[in-house]
Structure formats: C-alpha cells, structure tokens
Amino acid sequence: MITEHHDAIEFTVDGRTVTVADESTTLLDVLRDELGIVSVKDGCSPQGQCGCCTVLVDGQPRVSCVTPVRRLGGREITTVDGLDPLVADAWARAFHSTGGSQCGFCTPGIICRFEGLRAKGVDHHDRTAAANALATHLCRCTGWQTVVDAWTVFGGDRAERPERPDGERRATLEGRTHQMVDTSVALGRAGFADDTAPPDSLVAVPAADGGGWVVAATRAAAFREAGKVQGRRTTGAWGPPLEIPEGDWDVSLATSWVEPAYLETDASWCRPGGDPASSLTNGGAFGSKTTSEVAAVARRLADEHGRPVRVLYAREDVVGRGPKRPPIAAGLRRDGTGVVRVVRTPGIAEAIHSFLPGVEVDEVDVPGPATSVEVRGAGWVEAAVLAAGVRGEVGWIESPSGGSATASIGADGSIDIEVRCGVPLDEIVLRSYCVGAAHMALSWVTSESLAVDKSGEIHDLTIRSFGVVRAVDTPRINVAIVDDEGPAVNGSDAVFAAAAAAKWLDLGLPARWPHTL
C-alpha cells in the first residue's frame, strides 16, 4: 500500500510521484500490485533473467523484479505506459508490421530495452547491437528474428502497415487458441489472466513443500508465507533418461528432458460462484497449459474464501509442475522397422505410429516430471525426424493438421524453410510463427536440456538454464510460403519437424540431443 511515511521512499513513475513505505519490496511488486501497471510482466521473478519486467530507471533499462525500492529514492521510472504516446505507437506499429510480437508477454520489456538502445544513438540498421541488447531477455514465440526486424523498421515506412483482419485467424490456427493480432499486443495489452484480476483479489500460490496452497493479501506476502525458494541452475549434468535399445540400427536417437519455456506463467482468477479466467487468454503455451490446474484451484479457493482469488505459479512452479514432451530413445532400420522407447504417456504410441507404423513402441516408467502428448508435436515430430534420418533427406513433412514443410541448412548455418498450409490469410503472422518454430527446433537439437537426476528431481529451475538459443546466436531463418489455395491449416508444427530434421541431418545424425551433450 502506498502511504505517506517519514521513512518512506519517494520516486516518480510515469510522471506520477509515489511514496512507498516498505523498503524491502521490489519495484515490480510496486508497479503491478500497488500501482496496477500491468504492462510490466512477471515471467521469472525474482530470477531477473527473462526481461519481461524491464523498465527504464532514469532512462536506463533495468529489470524491476530484482530492483529493491530502497535504491530508487528520487529516481524516475518509465514503463511502456509512460513513453511518449507517439514513440509507443511507433514501437507498436514496428512490432505489428514485422510479426515481432505474438502473445506479447515479453514485448513491453523488450521495447524498454530498445528505448535504452535508441537513447544511446545506436543505428537502427545495426542488427547485431539489437541482438546483443536482447541477451537479458527471452522470447519463446518469435525466434528473435522478427523482434530484431522491429528494431530495424522503427519509425520507417515499413512500419506503416494497415490493420490485418485475417491475422487473428492465422494466429489462432498456429497457436491453437485465440490470439489477438493488433498494435496493442506489443504494448502488453492482450488481457492476460493475471492482468485482468480484480484489485481486491487474494493471491494463492503453491506451498514450497508441495502441500497445498498459501493464500495471502498480496503476491509478495503469499510467496513469503509459502516459503518460496529461489530457482537455481545446477552444475551437474544428466543426459537423456532412456538408453537406446540394443540392435543393429541404421539410425539411433536419444532425446533429453526439455522445458517448453513459455513466458506467461500459469495464472487464473475467479470470483465466488463465477467462471475462472483461462490461463490461455492470448497464447497457447505450445500445448503445455491445456492440463493446468490453476483455473480449477481459483474457482475452489474463491468459493472457500468468499472473495476473488488470483492463483499464480512462479517460474519454479512452471518448471516443476508443468508437463514436458516425453523423451525418447530409438533405433531404426532403413525399412522403417525398429524400436522407439519412450517415457510412458497417454496417446504417445498412436502419435509415433502415425509416422512410423512399423516400429515397436516401448513405453517405460521413468522418474521425472509429468509428460503430455499435448506438448507441441510430441511423438509424431520425433517419428518424422527419425524417418527423415533413415531416408537421408528431409523431404516434405506433413503434420497431422495437414500443413507441410521442408527445410535445409545453408553453408552459413542459415535455415531455409518452405511451408504449405492452405490460404496464408496473413503472411506476416504465418512467417513469424514459422520463424519461431524453426528457432525452437534449432534449440531442441543443439542446446536445450533440463537437468533431471535419476530420482526424477529437476535441478534446473531458472530461465537461463534451459539452453534456449539467444538472439545473437540465432542464424538467419528464411521462410518461403508456397502458393496453396486449400483450406487454411496450421503450418508451423510441420516447420518445427522439418527444421529439426534438417539440423539433425546437417550435424551428421548425432545419437544424442542436444548435440552439445
């Protein structure tokens, strides 16, 4: 609560003078929970690693979740909402025109980062400077390239694009849930669940010991009372959890645990007797939130307490409780027969057999996080990649949705994509999703892994430990949309499979993913 106090800290937020009595609180808590500035997003607090809560402090970008207010006396804080309206609109149009913002959760922080870069006079043609500036950010949706494109077109003619009425139809096909496509998304105004909760809501978070839910008046108090433990990155290393079956194989592959790494942590809220807010308000989380418990918990706790209740996961909760794609260990012969060993998951055998009908699927119980066939392409993508491996070429890979794609790797590491998915509807949106899918595939094959020991305990709980390829390390991704007048269908899932297969072939078919292991 903001009050007058003789020991209080006074500073300015978006031109408004505020006084904060609690010197131990963070700037993020003040901005979101006390001032109601929900354009500042919480993706990992207090890790300070995702960049979603970045604001300007005296004109310099700063991560607000690790900035204590005791250091802010007399300082000037500027959020996206406090930028000059013409500047904010120019950034919104730049991201809209390039497809640099999909769900929009990370974008307000990135815009503040770019504003800091712009204040230094960095040339907008300097893509490397923009990519380097993004080292403190994570964007899972776009694969970075379209974000950097937004930097290059800021204020220029390319950003002057009309509204695109078919954009939402294409985005909804690609994300598998409704998604807004307009300039307001880049400014953080897409109506995420926790942004729309009533101000008088109680806050519920998982207890640190896994024993139920802690309910308190504020988010900070709830995590304090829950005994929240700061996430960590292990120095240990664990490879794929399954051994490749014995046999005379032409191709073999073992994959590791990986984190879906969506930025908006699971959240919902509900009034007593009401319907809970969906945690999928503007993004599909790559299928990983379809079984989230937060909405049901919000409904139950609201009825118990007789007040609106916000239910929130911290980043550590997402990693520990959220479902993963089932790891595999497979051996395949050139005739398409072989064995695919996979962590036991309902529906996974059917997904694998849709591409490899001749293999034996051996489901194995393995200690570790929950798995789900709903995670992007789980099972069929691995099968499609194995099939490409034994063919020795990617070919055209058709997804269960009907979209198809092929991919190749250039001599400079660039990724060339061709995609067919019916009427494009909106080429900017489609290209953005395809670039993001190719980037996800590249990360999966080359660098991503989640440290899970043999007892099933997860040791990597921070954003930076997931191994997602950074903007500065992302090669050029070129997308060609092949003319196709059929019904519009999802195309980016096929791109995910094709890009993974292309990179695996380019690396010489290493038997373990990520290739760095």
Q: What is the pLDDT of residue 76?
A: 98
pTM of the predicted structure, to 2 decimals:
0.95
Q: What is the CATH number of domain 328-506?
A: 3.30.365
Residues 479 and 495: their CA atoms lie apart, in Å, by 10
Nearest Cα residue to 467 out of 241, 260, 171: 260
Structure tokens at 213: 């839910």
Region of 461 (left: φ > 0; alpha: ψ -120 to 50; beta: rest) is alpha
Examine residue 46 and say whether the peptide bond preceding it is cis (omega within 30 degrees of 0): yes
Determine the pLDDT at residue 22.
76
| DSSP calls for 127-148 | HHHHHHHGGG---TTTTTHHHH
Q: Give the fold, CATH level 3, of 1-189.
A: Ubiquitin-like (UB roll) (3.10.20)
What is the domain partition of the chain in residue ranges?
A: 1-189, 197-229+266-312, 328-506
Please report, in tens digits, the pLDDT of each residue of the chain (517 residues total). Answer: 344 344 789 999 999 999 998 777 999 999 999 999 999 999 999 999 999 999 999 999 999 999 999 999 999 999 999 999 999 999 999 999 999 999 999 999 999 999 999 999 999 999 999 999 999 999 999 999 999 999 999 977 776 666 788 999 999 999 999 899 999 999 999 999 999 999 999 999 999 877 799 999 999 999 999 988 888 888 777 889 999 999 999 999 999 999 999 999 999 999 999 999 999 988 889 999 999 999 999 999 999 999 999 999 999 999 999 999 999 999 999 999 999 999 999 999 999 999 999 999 999 999 999 999 999 999 999 999 999 999 999 999 999 999 999 999 999 999 999 999 999 999 999 999 999 999 999 999 999 999 999 999 999 999 999 999 999 999 999 999 998 889 999 999 999 999 999 999 999 999 999 997 5
Q: What is the pLDDT of residue 159?
A: 67
DSSP string for 471-505: GGGPPPEEEEE----S-----HHHHHHHHHHHHHH
- What long-range pairs does 55-59 form, CB within 8 A, spacing at least 24? 55/27, 55/31, 55/79, 55/109, 55/112, 56/112, 56/115, 56/116, 59/116, 59/119
Q: Cα–Cα distance between 37 and 112 in angstroms, integer?
A: 14
pLDDT of 160 reads: 66
Sign of the C-alpha dihedral computed for residues 418, 421, 427 and 429 taken in this order: negative
